[in-house]
Amino acid sequence: MRIDRGEVIALVGENGSGKTTLAKLLSGLYEPDGGRVSWDDTDLAEVDPDELRHRIAVIAQDHTRWPLTARYNISMGTDKGEPALVAAAEVAGADQVVAELPHGYSTLLDRRFKDGQELSGGQWQRIAVARGFHRDAPLLICDEPTAALDARAEHALFERIRQHADGRTVLLITHRLASVRYADRIYVLDHGKVVEHGTHDELMGLDGLYADLYGLQARAYSA
Ligand SMILES: Nc1ncnc2c1ncn2[C@@H]1O[C@H](COP(=O)(O)OP(=O)(O)O)[C@@H](O)[C@H]1O
Ligand SMILES: [Mg+2]
């Protein structure tokens, strides 16, 4: 698998096909048993893990809900200033969530505290996406950050991420194929292996697994 700087790449495949595993290998969270992962010409095995982590932002499937303020949940204690905070929130649609909070960004996101607020799954998900954007790393990995959302909301979110990629490299992971049509390239996984890759049109032309799954899902949506 090859990812060029500034590309929006999608990893697709059915549940259990290995998308999360591959993303963790690419981001250095897992070490490969065989083969190698390199950034430019440097093998990840030779890179200081801290160095690497600064270059990657992950919006994970299971994001953490910190019992802290909205501001802290997005900035994670880094101080990049208000404009960076607000910009990240806007891309994620978290600005609308914050606007409804009694104390805005200073609201504690935990009902166990005085004046604390609880958020819904979808609202937390926007905060988690804002956190990923605020980190402002050259590689952004979004691993099905949209489990709490329906297919249409996932599509809208991926579109926003794509439009605000701003030269970052983005890896979008999903099992919903309608969300990845406009990725620069798509890798299709099956049972832990890359079985096809190309643009949406190329993969449809191949008439293989991607085209099969796409047809199945398209029929399910139109039903
Ligand atoms: N290339 C591989 N070789 C061996 N096991 C794999 C491989 N890819 C994935 N797995 C295993 O398959 C399971 C599901 O993988 P996961 O990455 O969580 O799938 P997905 O994110 O596509 O749902 C995990 O137990 C994982 O360790
Ligand atoms: Mg997964």
Which tokens belong to 112? 């166990």
Looking at residue 63, its pLDDT comes to 79
29 vs 95 pLDDT, higher one: 95
pLDDT band at 163 (very low <50, low <70, confident <90, very high): confident
120 and 155 both lie in a single domain: no
Q: What is the Cα 8 distance to its own chain's centre?
A: 11
CATH of residue 213: 3.40.50.300
Average pLDDT over residues 178-193: 92
- Which residue's CA lies nearest to atom 13 of ligand 1? 16
Whether 29 has a pLDDT exceeding 90, the answer reads no
Cα of 5 from ligand 2 centre, angstroms: 23
CA distance 5 to 169: 6
Tell whether 131 and 141 lie within a shared domain.
Answer: no
Domain span at residue 203 reads 1-55+137-223
Q: d(Cα 181, Cα 179) in Å, to the nearest integer?
A: 6
Helix axes 82-92, 121-135, angle to 10 degrees: 130
Q: Check residue 223 and give its pLDDT.
A: 54
Q: What is the dihedral of CA 125, 162, 169, 95, to 10 degrees?
A: -40
The residue among 90, 119, 136 that closes a domain is 136
SS3 sequence, the chain? CCCCCCCEEEEECCCCCCHHHHHHHHCCCCCCCCCCCEECCEEHHHCCHHHHHHCEEEECCCCCCCCCEHHHHHHCCCCCCHHHHHHHHHHHCHHHHHHCCCCHHHCECCCCCCCCCCCCHHHHHHHHHHHHHHHCCCEEEEECCCCCCCHHHHHHHHHHHHHCCCCCEEEEEECCHHHHCCCCEEEEEECCEEEEEECHHHHHHHCCHHHHHHHHHHHHHHC
Question: What average pLDDT does range 128-155 have in this prediction?
Answer: 82
Residues with CB under 6 A from ligand 1: 13, 15-21, 192
In the predicted structure, residue 50 carries a pLDDT above the cut 80: yes
In a domain, residue 77? The reply is yes
Which ligand is nearest the CA of 29, by number?
Answer: 1
The verdict on 220 and 158 lying in the same domain is yes
State the sign of the Cα–Cα–Cα–Cα dihedral 172, 174, 177, 179.
negative
CA distance 94 to 99: 9
CA-closest residue to ligand 1 atom 6: 192
Please check whether residues 29 and 40 belong to one and the same domain: yes
Q: Are residue 144 and residue 163 in the same domain, yes or no?
A: yes
5-20 pLDDT, tens per residue? 999 999 999 989 999 9
Ligand nearest to the CA of 188: 1
Report the separation in Å between the CA atom of 19 and the middle of ligand 1, taken as the mean of its atom positions. Answer: 7
Residues 142 and 206 occupy one common structural domain: yes
pLDDT at 177: 86
CA 117 – CA 68 distance, rounded (Å): 10
User: What is the per-residue pLDDT for 76?
Assistant: 92
Q: Is 147 a residue whose pLDDT tops 80?
A: no
Smallest CA-to-CA distance from 89 within 105, 113, 76, 102 is with 105
pLDDT-derived band of residue 181, with 50, 70 and 90 as boundaries?
A: confident
* Residue of higher predicted confidence among 146 and 193: 193
At 60, is the pLDDT very low, low, confident or very high (cuts 50, 70, 90)? confident
Asked if residue 222 and residue 154 are part of one domain, the reply reads: yes
| Cα 65 from Cα 110, distance rounded (Å) | 9
pLDDT of 146: 62
pLDDT exceeds cutoff 90 at 113? no
Determine if the pTM surpasses 0.85: yes
The residue whose C-alpha atom lies closest to atom 25 belonging to ligand 1 is 16
Averaged pLDDT of the chain:
89
Arithmetic mean of pLDDT, 102-125: 90
Q: Identify the pLDDT of residue 218.
A: 82
pLDDT (0 to 100) of residue 161: 84
- Residues 164-174: pLDDT tens digits? 888 899 999 98
Is residue 89 included in any domain, yes or no? yes
Q: How far is 147 from 134, CA to CA, in rounded Å?
A: 21
> Are 21 and 117 in the same domain?
no
Query: How many other CB atoms are there within 10 angstroms of residue 212's CB atom?
Result: 10
Within a domain: 60: no
